[in-house]
Amino acid sequence: MAVPEITGDPRFFTRSGPFDIAALAASAGAKAEGHGAGAIAARLFTGVAPLQSAGPAEVSFLDNRRYAVLLGETRAGAVIVHPDMAGAVPTGAVALVTPEPYLGWARVAALFHPAPPPKPGIAPSAIVDPTARIDPSAEIGPLAVIGADAEIGARVRIGALAVIGPGVVIGADARIGPQTTISHALIGARVAIYPGARIGQDGFGFAVTEAGFVSVPQIGRVIIEDDAEIGANTTIDRGSAADTVIGAGSRLDNLVQVGHNVRIGRACVIVAQAGISGSTVLEDFVMAGGQAGLIGHLHIGRKARIGAQAGVMADVAAGASVVGSPAQPVTAFFREVATLRRLARTGGGKTRRKRGDAPENADQSG
């Protein structure tokens, strides 16, 4: 069946507003400009939408110049744009001008669609140990399990079927998704952990003997600092002796694997299906692309960038960008790619076989 396009479907997303252009500009950190700014000052806006589908009562944005053609055709009543694009906003629409359009869009979208507040209380089907300490403003969902001596802070939301192990501490305003399991962990304020994440399980540690393997007790913790986000089905092993640490404000995508004793700094970005082996250290602001793999005991410097599917087998200096497997500096990688392409176009440098020469694959045994 045909389904109409709806941004912020009310069945799934809370909605606030409407807001006038002054409120939108203040939220976006933008200045209202353009032919329609004065006339639209009193108009109320009801939501946000993409350029191609926005109507006169909606706000849109342009951050990527690849979509500039859509700007000239949009029916949006207001568009968040960079100063360089303000003159391209159609007549009748207000340009909300800011040096950071995407940041402005994030703030305006959150203005119209704020995260729903927790509904204080414990679901009747939840199982809560009597020694657990739960702030009265927290929400504990159906069939959730809260272990002994766990601490749940103010306005925390615990989703259905989540399991919070004994002694776990969860800071104020954290959001724990359905079917998440957390053990041996201290979770900071405003942390978001999405459904199905596994935090604090045993790390992959064992001694090798002639008779087989002997598991090494994993007696560290997981520390997730304030404002971090952990994607759905991501796994973070607890430390073997030291702690595994996820720094403040870092973003881990879905399906990321973090091994024991890994230390991830502040504001790092780890994209889906990346894997970080034990005891590797990422300094602040590191970015790792999807399916990147890092072996253990590495040191990745501040603001280093690791390309998608890179295989990192050596330390990476601060500010460096590496790609490929094994990973190497971007310039060296693409120089090698260019060389291979030249060889491919010229036949790989082979000399032509003269008449009478034996074929390359002929049996010359006798």
What is the chain's alpha carbon radius of gyration, rounded to the nearest angstrom?
A: 27
Give the integer Cα–Cα distance in Å for 333 and 342: 15
Phi-psi region of 130 (alpha: psi -120 to 50; beta: other; left: phi over 0): alpha
Residue 276 domain-assigned?
A: yes
pLDDT at 197 over 80: yes
Nearest-CA neighbor of 43 among 24, 16, 70? 24
Report how far apart, in Å, the C-alpha atoms of 58 and of each of 53, 68, 70 are.
9, 18, 15
pLDDT at 36 over 70: no
Determine the pLDDT at residue 363. 43
- Of 8-12, 32-36, 75-79, 128-132, least confident by mean pLDDT is 32-36
Burial class of residue 364, CB neighbours in 10 A (0-12, 13-18, 19+): exposed
Determine the pLDDT at residue 92. 82
Given a contact cutoff of 8 angstroms between Cβ atoms, the answer to whether 75 and 53 are in contact is no
What phi and psi, each to the nearest 5 degrees, are found at residue 333? Answer: -60, -50
Single pTM value for the model:
0.88
Q: Residue 104 is part of a domain; what is its CATH number?
A: 3.40.1390.10
Determine the pLDDT at residue 366. 36
Structure tokens at 102: 């995407």
| Segment 150-168 mean pLDDT | 98
Number of compact structural domains in the chain: 2
Q: What is the pLDDT of residues 230-269, one digit of tens each?
A: 999 999 999 999 999 999 999 999 999 999 999 999 999 9
Determine the pLDDT at residue 8. 87
Where residue 364 falls among pLDDT bands split at 50, 70, 90? Answer: very low
Residues belonging to the chain: 366
Determine the pLDDT at residue 194. 98
pLDDT at 360 over 50: no
Domain termination residue (choose one: 70, 87, 112): 112
Q: What is the pLDDT of residues 278-337, one digit of tens each?
A: 999 999 999 999 999 999 999 999 999 999 999 999 999 999 999 999 999 999 988 988
Domain termination residue (choose one: 69, 90, 112): 112
Residue 84 and residue 190 in one domain: no
Q: Residue 306 is part of a domain; what is its CATH number?
A: 2.160.10.10
Domain that holds residue 88: 19-112
Residue 73 and residue 203 in one domain: no
Q: Which residues are catalytic?
A: 260
DSSP code of residue 348? G
Residue 145 domain-assigned?
A: no
pLDDT top residue among 364 and 145: 145
Strands across the sheet containing 263-264: 133-134, 151-152, 169-170, 185-187, 222-224, 244-246, 263-264, 281-282, 299-300
E strand or H helix at 104: helix 101-112
Residue 77 and residue 202 in one domain: no
pLDDT at 362 over 70: no
Residue 232 domain-assigned?
A: yes
Residue 101 and residue 225 in one domain: no
* Cα distance between the two ends of the chain: 72
Where residue 65 falls among pLDDT bands split at 50, 70, 90? Answer: confident
Q: What is the pLDDT of residues 343-355, one digit of tens each?
A: 988 875 555 555 5
Residue 194 and residue 277 in one domain: yes
Residue 123 domain-assigned?
A: no
Determine the pLDDT at residue 5. 75
Which contacts (CB < 8 Å, 24+ apart) does range 258-263 have? 258/234, 259/203, 259/204, 259/296, 260/203, 260/204, 260/205, 260/218, 260/220, 261/203, 261/220, 262/237
Residue 297 domain-assigned?
A: yes
Determine the pLDDT at residue 18. 95
pLDDT at 155 over 80: yes
Q: Which of 22-31, 37-46, 353-362 has the highest mean pLDDT?
A: 22-31
Given a contact cutoff of 8 angstroms between Cβ atoms, the answer to whether 294 and 300 are in contact is yes
Determine the pLDDT at residue 355. 54
What phi and psi, each to the nearest 5 degrees, are found at residue 351? Answer: -85, 150
Residue 88 domain-assigned?
A: yes
Structure tokens at 172: 């104020």
Residue 205 and residue 77 in one domain: no
**In sequence order, what are the beta bridge partners of 157?**
139, 175
Tell me the residue ranges of DSSP E strands in 143-254: 145-146, 151-152, 157-158, 163-164, 169-170, 175-176, 181-182, 185-187, 192-193, 198-199, 206-209, 212-215, 222-224, 229-230, 235-236, 244-246, 251-252
Residue 284 domain-assigned?
A: yes
Residue 47 domain-assigned?
A: yes
Helix, strand and coil in the chain, % to nearest 5? 15, 25, 60
Q: How far is CA 239 from the centre of its chain?
A: 23
Cβ atoms < 10 Å from Cβ of 261: 25
Domain termination residue (choose one: 67, 87, 112): 112
Give the integer Cα–Cα distance in Å for 281 and 305: 14
Nearest-CA neighbor of 91 among 125, 131, 56? 56
Strands across the sheet containing 58-61: 31-33, 94-97, 78-81, 58-61, 47-48
Determine the pLDDT at residue 1. 67
Residue 305 and residue 210 in one domain: yes
Number of Cα atoms under 13 Å in the Cβ half of residue 9: 6
Residue 197 and residue 317 in one domain: yes
- pLDDT averaged over every residue in the chain: 92
